[in-house]
Amino acid sequence: MRIDILTVLPELLESPFNYSIVKRAKQKELVEIFIHNIRDFSTDKHKRTDDYAFSKGAGMIMTIQPIESVIEHLRSQRDYDEIIYTTPDGETFNQRTANELSTKGNIIILCGHYKGVDQRIRDHFITKEISIGDYVLSGGEIAAAVMVDSIVRLIPGVLSDETSALTDSFQDDLLSHPVYTRPADYKGWKVPDILLNGNDKQIDDWKEEQAYEITKKRRPDLLKNK
């Protein structure tokens, strides 16, 4: 998979993809991530990428030209399955969206900034508009990092034990069951006996029951999908 991220703040995206699972996915050549500075494509003599909104007092808007140039530059080299725009008024990102996007070949993510992008970019290039939640960030970079992190770990072969992605919270509309490691007794805080009895069937049933109970208590809305 190839992910191209378009941003006016490339520095903000320097480190999120250089650690842990995403770093390993890049090393295994299962994903390539490229960060493009929109400013580099501006034909303005001051390399500006924003301008005043036509409506008074609406703040600064990302202009069409540099974004069109970088998208056309990328599209002249390969086809893209999705051109995503990060924006608080997009559809809410969830595990289903991450699963779907992890099956794509090439995607572009345009990070929104200021008061947003000129609507004509949305009308003519964007295929999907995504929000990571009902709150407003200073820009779309952190939203892009969140999305990329959750997508990359789902690409087959990225996690050494593939079942560990399949048993993630949300993957089957259930939250995760509690997990424990050694010691079995820490100052009297004991691991549930059932996990020590060696009966795999009983342990699996316990995990399922716990996941269901935790979901019912914390996120009953998820059970409506079942």
Contact residues toward ligand ADE (CB under 6 A) are 86-88, 112, 131-133, 135-137, 140, 143
The encoded tokens of residue 23 equal 């770093």
Smaller CB separation from ligand ADE, 24 or 115: 115
Residue 83 bridge partners (DSSP):
108
Shortest distance (Å) from residue 182 CB to ligand ADE = 40
Smaller CB separation from ligand ADE, 127 or 197: 127
Cα-Cα end-to-end distance for the chain:
31
Smaller CB separation from ligand ADE, 117 or 154: 117
Q: 141-152 and 20-27 are packed helices; what angle lies between their axes, rounded to 10 degrees? A: 60
Cβ-closest position to ligand ADE: 143
Whole-number Å distance between alpha carbons of 108 and 35: 10
Shortest distance (Å) from residue 224 CB to ligand ADE = 24
Smaller CB separation from ligand ADE, 109 or 211: 109
Shortest distance (Å) from residue 114 CB to ligand ADE = 10
Shortest distance (Å) from residue 109 CB to ligand ADE = 10
Whole-number Å distance between alpha carbons of 152 and 209: 29
| Type of residue at 208 | E
Burial (CB count <10 Å: 0-12, 13-18, 19+), residue 121: buried
Shortest distance (Å) from residue 129 CB to ligand ADE = 9
Do residues 156 and 1 lie in contact, with contact meaning Cβ atoms separated by under 8 Å? Answer: no
Shortest distance (Å) from residue 87 CB to ligand ADE = 5
Smaller CB separation from ligand ADE, 66 or 140: 140
Whole-number Å distance between alpha carbons of 4 and 74: 9
The encoded tokens of residue 60 equal 């600064």
Do residues 30 and 158 lie in contact, with contact meaning Cβ atoms separated by under 8 Å? Answer: yes
Smaller CB separation from ligand ADE, 16 or 88: 88
